[in-house]
Every structure is written in structure tokens, then in C-alpha cells.
Homo-oligomer: A and B are copies of this chain.
Amino acid sequence: MKPRFIHTYVSVDCVVFGFDDDGLNILLVRRDENNQKDLKLPGSLIYDEEDVDDAANRVLFELTGIKKMTLRQFRCFASPDRASKSEDIKWLDKEYQPNINRLITVAYLSLCKIDRKLNNVSKYKQTEWCPLREIPKMPFDHNQIVKESLNEIRRWIEHDPSMVFELLPNKFTISQLHRLYEAIYEKDIDIRNFHKKVTAMPYVVRLEEIQKNVSHRAARFYKFDKKAHNKYKANM
């Protein structure tokens, strides 16, 4: 007997990281406005004639209003039973169409400035930043996807350290950058050595502006200079 080949729907799911003073957060969407707990990763089935990268860009655009977000595909999740829980099947029936018997997904990682105003004309009526340590139980295998995304963000930043600036405001203090690195690598980093390292980066430029109304010595702001970074990379 000839084996039966899978014929299936395909979705994308996006893990969008944001950073605030308390650490890393992930952008989740609420399916049911009346259920405070019902959060999941933003995602969508992909259309006919649509590449997965385009689908991820579409989801992120609807979510944030940003046309071309920095994103990175990191894994296809295709376990046959990833969409086999009855409540997940029910939701697929309602949201998309009945009889979706299997669904494989391609997971994307993206980075977003957390202070950016999010789009609210999208199909996602409610979105929220959820601290990484407080991610609730989510449908499908979304918890596993988030877990793997953490390894992936480290790999990504090791490969291209300039990615971290996607997570910071345009003007940031060295202390913020320091906390961000500590959050990503989950370890303490000596602030004095960190200072030295950052100020040695030709693409992190010192601004004249300093903090105001803080009850301690005001910190200086810095910005990331993309052109200087390109020049720097070219010399590597």
C-alpha cells in the first residue's frame, strides 16, 4: 500500500521580544476578550501564493503597524499532535474553517521597541506585553516555541550583536543596554568592564543629552549609529 502523504495547512507564529526595565517581554494576543487568561502567540495560516516570510511580515505588520520588522525564521514545528487538543481544534474550526486535521507552523523571532505604539486597527483586538517569567499556559505548542526562541535570540545576538539595539529606544543609557544584556544572557555582567566595552564601540555614539529629574547623578544618553556600524562590519 502506498503511504499517505501529509496534505496540510501551514501557519506562522511570531515570538516578538520587547525589553523594559524589568526585563524581557513577549507580545501576546488575546483570542477572547472576555477571558483574561486566553493568550497566545500572534500568528496566521499562510495564504495561497504567499511565502512564509511574507506571512510573518504580514502578521507583524497587523500587530505593530511596522512594514518591515526585523525577523528571523527559527524552526518548523510539525509534531502530528501539536494541534490535537480538543479546545485547539474547536478554535481552529471557528477562526478558520472546519476539519483542519493537522497544522504545521513555522516559528519566527522578532525584536521590537517596547515603547512603540502598537497598531490597534488589526484583527488583534487586544495585545499585551507579557514578562518572560510570567508567560501563561498557551494553546498548541506555543509554550515550547517560546522556550526555544530564547536559545535562538542568544544565537542571533551572538551572530550579530547590533540586533540588541532593536530592543532599545533610539536614545538609551549604558545602564539600559547593560540590563538588556544581563536579561538576555541571564547572568551578571561587571558594569565597569561593560562601560569600557560599549564606549569602545565606534557605532554607539555619545549624545549631549543626559537624564533629567533623577535622584542620582544623571546618566548620559547614547544612540546606535547604523552607518558607523556598517562601516565597522565591513572592516571585519
Contacts and interface: CB of A to CB of B under 8 A. Distances in A.
A7 interface: yes
Contact of A9 (B7, B48, B50, B102): B7
Given A8-B10, A9-B5, A47-B6, A78 B52 contact: yes
Contact of A76 (B9, B50, B73, B79): B73
Given A8-B8, A76-B73, A155-B155, A104 B3 contact: no
Contact of A51 (B9, B49, B80, B155): B80
Contacts of A9: 5-8
Contacts of A133: none
A4 interface: yes
Interface string A198-209: 000000000000
Given A5-B9, A5-B45, A9-B5, A51 B79 contact: yes
A28 interface: no
A47 B102 CA distance: 12
17 contacts: A3-B47, A4-B47, A5-B47, A5-B48, A6-B9, A6-B10, A6-B47, A6-B50, A7-B9, A8-B8, A8-B9, A10-B78, A51-B78, A51-B79, A52-B104, A76-B76, A155-B159
**A-B interface, 3 closest residue pairs, ranked by CB to CB distance from nearest:** A5-B45, A52-B78, A49-B80
Given A48-B102, A51-B80, 13 more contacts: A4-B48, A5-B48, A5-B96, A6-B10, A6-B46, A6-B47, A7-B9, A10-B10, A46-B78, A51-B79, A52-B104, A73-B75, A76-B106
